[in-house]
């Protein structure tokens, strides 16, 4: 195993079912496979890295997530190509998912940064970026 590679990310969410329905297809389109599934959580794995979503306990749901507070700002994933970004963008639109920065899409990150940005149900920003 290469030193420093990401092992896993665990994110607490306000509604596990909604998050699984919303992001499951996206992770699988990127090549992640379902890994673990239990009453309050779900994970997907690719090679030696996995992403976990866990239901937040009711007692901690009083303060909603906001990416501008201390903590996670967004998740960014590699796309295989610009065409891959375009295909996922089409699927997002088909699902009625709002594309962030739509007036600048697909160059919202700059002239040489081809990507699509969207938010999950808890408003965690997700980015899919093509190689340069």
Looking at residue 62, its pLDDT comes to 93
Domains of the chain: 1-56 (3.10.180.10), 73-132 (3.10.180.10)
Q: Is the pLDDT of residue 47 over 70?
A: yes
Mean pLDDT rounded to a whole number for the chain: 94
The string of pLDDT tens digits covering residues 54-90 is 999 999 999 988 989 888 999 999 999 999 999 999 9
CB-CB contact of 14 with 121 (8 Å): yes
For 106-122, the pLDDT digits (tens) are: 999 988 899 999 999 99
Residue 93, pLDDT > 70, answer: yes
Task: Examine the pLDDT at 1 and tell me if it is beyond 70.
Answer: no
Q: For the whole model, what pTM was predicted?
A: 0.91
- Distance from C-alpha of 124 to C-alpha of 112, rounded to nearest angstrom: 24
């Amino acid at each position: 195993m290469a030193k420093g590679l990401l092992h896993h990310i665990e994110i607490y969410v306000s509604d596990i079912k909604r998050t699984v329905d919303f992001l499951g297809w996206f992770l699988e389109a990127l090549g992640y496979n379902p890994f673990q599934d239990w009453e309050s959580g779900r994970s997907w794995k690719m090679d030696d890295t996995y992403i976990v979503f866990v239901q937040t306990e009711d007692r901690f749901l009083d303060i909603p997530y906001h990416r501008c507070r201390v903590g996670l700002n967004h998740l960014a994933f590699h796309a295989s190509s610009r065409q891959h970004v375009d295909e996922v963008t089409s699927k997002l639109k088909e699902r009625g998912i709002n594309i962030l920065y739509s007036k600048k899409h697909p160059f919202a990150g700059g002239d040489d940064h081809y990507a699509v940005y969207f938010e999950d149900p808890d408003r965690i920003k997700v980015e899919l970026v093509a190689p340069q």
